[in-house]
Amino acid sequence: MAHKKSWSEFSGRKRAVMVVASIVQVTLTVAGYRDLARRSADEVEGSKLAWGVAMLANWVGPIAYFAKGRKGLGLNG
């Protein structure tokens, strides 16, 4: 079994990358929930509840919501 590293065992650069990645992930999730809360059910592809649950999936959920979950945001409106 592989040894799990503690925070202090990571280099400063690796810690910085992890902090930035975490901030981006949290920002994406918060932005997704905020957008979802402001939209009516008619402006969302599928169920708002389902998208809310899907956004709990790390990077995939919020990115999928912004890419596929919102109606009428294409070039043709």
The CA–CA distances, whole Å, from 61 to 1, 16, 52 equal: 30, 24, 9
State how far Cα 26 lies from the chain centre.
7
- Three-state secondary-structure class, residue 18: helix
In a domain, 58, yes or no: yes
In a domain, 77, yes or no: no
In a domain, 3, yes or no: no
In a domain, 56, yes or no: yes
In a domain, 4, yes or no: no
In a domain, 6, yes or no: no
In a domain, 2, yes or no: no
For 3-51, the pLDDT digits (tens) are 888 988 989 999 999 999 999 999 999 999 999 999 999 999 999 999 9
Q: How many domains does the chain have?
A: 1
Structure tokens at 43: 């402006």
In a domain, 32, yes or no: yes
Q: Please state, in angstroms and rounded to a whole number, the distance separating the CA atoms of residues 43 and 25.
A: 24
pLDDT value for 77? 47
The size of the chain, in residues, is 77
Q: What domain range is 46 assigned to?
A: 13-69
